[in-house]
Amino acid sequence: MISRRSSLKALGAAALGFVLSACDRFTASDSTLRSLGAAEGLTRRVQRLIGGRAMAREFTRADISPMFKANGNLNPATPEYAAHAAAGFADWRLVVDGLVDRPLSLSLADLHAAPARTQITRHDCVEGWSCIGEWTGAKLGPILQQAGLRPTARHIVFHCADMWPAADAARRPYYESLDLIDAFHPQTILAYQMNGRPLPIEHGAPLRLRAERHLGYKQAKYIMRIEAVESLDPIGGGHGGFWEDRNYERYAGI
Ligand SMILES: Nc1nc2c(c(=O)[nH]1)N[C@H]1C(S)=C(S)[C@@H](COP(=O)(O)O)O[C@H]1N2
Ligand SMILES: [Mo]
C-alpha cells in the first residue's frame, strides 16, 4: 500500500522536479523550512500556470476561411510606418524593454530564428464576425525569458504603430496587454505569417499578437514595442488596452 506521505512525495517530485530529503522523521532546520516555503510558493505558481494552460481550439487547413476580414486600422499610415513598409521592414526593429534585465531590439530575422509555433484558430470579433486563419510566429514566452523578465513584472504591454481613431484630433496609439499567465501561454505568439505568407499590411505587418483565448481586439497589430510593467495604471487610460479604455469612457457617464 502506498502511504499518503510517499505518494505526496512522488507528486511533489513529479511536479517540482526535486525530491524532499529521504528522512521520514521531520527534523526541520531553518534551511529545510526555507526550501519548503519556497516549494509551496512554487507549487502555487505551477498550479496557476497549469490552470491557465487550457488551449484554444485548433482547426485543420480545410477549415481556413477563404476570406479573412480585416478590421480596425488597416494601415497605420504614418510616414515612419510607410518608410518601413516600403523597405520591406528590413530596418524595422521590435523593442522589448521595461522591467527586463536585458532590453532587446529584434529584427524580423531575429524573430524568424526564435522558437516558433503554427496554429489554425478562430478569430472572434465583438462586432459579431469570426474567421479561421493559420498563424505562424515566435512564441512570446521564450522572448521574455531572453530579455530576462524581472520578478516585479506583472503585465506585458504591446505598443502599436497605429493611432485610433485615425482622423480624430484626440487620436491615441493602439495598445494591448496580457498578464503573465497569458503571456507564457503556449498559443501566445508574435505572428509574422498568416496562412503561410508574410503578414499582409491590413492584418498587422510586420508583427501582430495572437493570444488565442482572447477576443479580436486583443490581437494587437503593428507591434513596435513590448514593455514589461508592474502596473497598467500609467499606460493609456489605465484599463489594459485601447478598447478597454474606450468602453470604460463610453459607459462611465450612463
Ligand atoms: N494595432 C491595432 N490592432 C488591432 C486593431 C487595430 O485597430 N489596431 N483592431 C483590433 C480588432 S477590433 C480586431 S477584430 C482585430 C482585426 O484583425 P484583422 O484585421 O487581422 O482581422 O485586430 C485587433 N487589433
Ligand atoms: Mo474586433
CA distance 252 to 249: 5
pLDDT of 198-241, one tens digit each?
A: 999 999 999 999 999 999 999 999 999 999 999 999 999 999 99
> For residue 169, what pLDDT is reported?
72
> For residue 171, what pLDDT is reported?
82
pLDDT of 20-60, one tens digit each?
A: 333 333 344 444 444 444 554 555 555 555 556 799 999 99
Q: Given a cut of 90, is residue 140 above it in pLDDT?
A: yes
pLDDT of 66-80, one tens digit each?
A: 999 999 999 999 999
CA distance 41 to 55: 25
| Average pLDDT of the segment spanning 87-100 | 98
Classify strands 188-194 and 104-106 as parallel, antiparallel or unpaired. unpaired
CB 81 less than 6 A from any atom of ligand 1: no
Question: Of 2, 10, 5, 12, which is closest to residue 47 (Cα–Cα)?
Answer: 12
- For a mutational test of ligand 1's pocket, the pick from 221, 225, 226, 243, i.e. the residue with the most ligand atoms closer than 8 A to its C-beta, is 221
Q: Point out the least confidently predicted range of 34-38, 70-74, 97-101, 162-166.
A: 34-38
CB 225 less than 6 A from any atom of ligand 1: no
- For a mutational test of ligand 1's pocket, the pick from 71, 190, 242, i.e. the residue with the most ligand atoms closer than 8 A to its C-beta, is 71
Query: Which residue would you say has higher pLDDT here, 115 or 172?
Result: 115
CA distance 85 to 232: 30
> For residue 28, what pLDDT is reported?
41
Q: What is the pTM for the complete model shown?
A: 0.81
Could you tell me the distance, in angstroms and rounded to a whole number, from the CA of residue 220 to the centre of ligand 1? 6
CB 242 less than 6 A from any atom of ligand 1: no
- The whole-chain average pLDDT of the chain stands at 84
Q: What would the grid cell of residue 116 be?
A: 516558433
Report which residue type is found at 204: G
> For residue 7, what pLDDT is reported?
41
Query: Which residue would you say has higher pLDDT here, 245 or 94?
Result: 94
Q: Given a cut of 50, is residue 4 above it in pLDDT?
A: no
202 CA closest ligand 1 atom index: 19
How many Cα atoms occupy the beta-carbon half-sphere of 56 within 13 Å? 20
CB 216 less than 6 A from any atom of ligand 1: yes
Query: Which residue would you say has higher pLDDT here, 182 or 166?
Result: 182
CA distance 112 to 238: 32
